[in-house]
Amino acid sequence: MKKAVVIGSGIAGLSAAIRLANKGYDVSVYESNSEVGGKLSQLALGKYRFDCGPSLFTMPELFEELFDECKKNFSDYLKYKKLDTITNYFYEDGTRFKSYSSNEKFAQELHRLALIEEKTVIEYLNKSRKSYKLTKHVFLENSLHKMKTFLNLKTLISLIQLYKLPLFGSLNSFNKKKIENPKIVQYFNRFATYNGSNPYKAPSLLSLIPHLEHNIGAFYPTGGMFQIAMSLKKLANDLGVKFEFNCKVTEIIIEGNRAIGINVNSEFIATDAVFSNMDIYQTYKKLLPNLIMPNNVKYEEKSSSGIVFFWGIKKEFKELGLHNIFFASNYEEEFHKIFNEYSISEDPTIYINITSKYSIEDAPLNCENWFVMINAPHNDGTQDWDLMVEKARKNIVHKLNRILKVNIEDFIEVESVLDPRKIEINTSSFGGSLYGSASNSKWAAFLRHKNFSNKVRNLYFCGGSVHPGGGIPLAMLSGKIAVDCLVD
Ligand code: FAD
């Protein structure tokens, strides 16, 4: 039986480990934390439970597919439901609307508020679907660095039709062309943040992202997001994957041009294949000291990070739902600060996730668990994060007080904070960036590191910092693509 070692048990590491075990490999996962999940973790604060990382679950079909491949039923491992109401949106001028899983209902809501014609919304979302369908086979589901991806009919059909895609200009310029109302432009611009990018620089092709939420749907897993990681861990256990927790891998050992093992706790572990789910920059810097870091990794633009306040709130807010957005008045300035000045706007867009709306056990009776997040730059080592966190908290409190007409501090009974420094410490992500590299150029997809090494045999990479990118769905695909690249 061939042996494979997986470094890290983030979503991509789990996706790869399960697929390797399903192929008959003897798989060991080495994880520096005490539990699986990586960025997808949870936190208990007094009587409150919080998901610490991702809060929006899209594309559950990628999980269904994995469990099917392993001849298991996903529903035996995780229950989830499609959301009817996805997100509540708040603007400073008092405009409020909800996004719904029904495109018609959403379009009607925006039309009722005299924001946009129904037809324009439906057309935008149909275009988004088309762009996704044309792109997914080449750019998302397969390696961009293997000939076999390009030598098949599906790819050729996609390539021939590439001219139909929105290929020029930024997402913002595309949205402005399609939509007159600046509030709805801001709404559709926000989807660039789903992979940590700047809508004023990111390519118009990112207009395919709303397809995932609007045309496929947004979902909530019973028990919260952390249960997604738990379901993968259980499947991995059922397939015989071994987990070694609190084990930080310190080096990938190379002999000649082959990866032959890893060093953990000063012990050498021999293996036939090494899969690194560690951030690609950190993998080169810390685990592969004798390899030259490729320039695309060294100089890539990092995705945004975030500052998250976990607040136990001793009050129920009927006007809030599971996902809530309080938009910045000047969206362009917010992204300029993050990506050009590595700082944070005085008026940031605030995202509040409240899982106790669905999982009542996450907060005491008549209370709510607020995950309050703003976008932030990655940690470039020069920022004064203590000061930035303090200022951000003040600005968030003022904005929420203004819009919700409360004194929110009266209701905060427990609190904890996550910032890019801690995200980096907890997961080894470079500078605490959430999604690896940003997609702020149309070449970003081509510049992401491949899922294998062309210098070292038996060495593979998966995770948000390599192809096809970050976020739960792409991390899942990345684990799949890395295993597809495996040369047995
Ligand atoms: P990671 O989650 O980064 O895990 C890597 C693992 O490797 C970690 O467990 C780490 O401990 C381990 N490791 C690293 N180095 C070593 C070593 N040397 N030895 C052993 N183990 C090691 N995505 C969404 O889809 N929707 C969202 O709503 C969303 N919101 C987010 C909000 C926040 C606050 C954060 C932090 C992330 C969010 N994301 C979201 C992004 C998403 O969480 C990530 O893209 C995805 O989880 C990354 O998975 P990954 O497999 O790349 O690895």
Nearest CA to ligand 1 atom 30: 54
For ligand 1, is residue 278 a contact (CB within 6 Å)? yes
Q: What is the pLDDT of residues 120-158, one digit of tens each?
A: 999 999 999 999 999 998 889 999 888 888 888 888 888
The span from the CA of 109 to the CA of 118, in Å, is: 9
What is the mean pLDDT of the segment spanning 451-474? 97
For ligand 1, is residue 59 a contact (CB within 6 Å)? no
Atom of ligand 1 nearest to the CA of 306: 34
In this model, does residue 160 exceed pLDDT 90? no
In this model, does residue 172 exceed pLDDT 80? yes
For ligand 1, is residue 469 a contact (CB within 6 Å)? no
pTM, full prediction: 0.97
Of 157-161, 281-285, 406-410, 420-424, give the lowest mean pLDDT range.
157-161
User: What confidence category does residue 443 fall into, taking pLDDT thresholds of 50, 70 and 90?
Assistant: confident
Peptide bond into 468 cis (omega under 30): yes
What is the mean pLDDT of the segment spanning 456-485? 97
What pLDDT score was predicted for residue 150?
A: 81
For ligand 1, is residue 420 a contact (CB within 6 Å)? no
For ligand 1, is residue 475 a contact (CB within 6 Å)? yes
User: What confidence category does residue 278 fall into, taking pLDDT thresholds of 50, 70 and 90?
Assistant: very high
For ligand 1, is residue 10 a contact (CB within 6 Å)? yes
The span from the CA of 155 to the CA of 214, in Å, is: 25
Q: What is the pLDDT of residues 243-274, one digit of tens each?
A: 999 999 999 999 999 999 999 999 999 999 99
What pLDDT score was predicted for residue 304?
A: 98
Atom of ligand 1 nearest to the CA of 264: 19
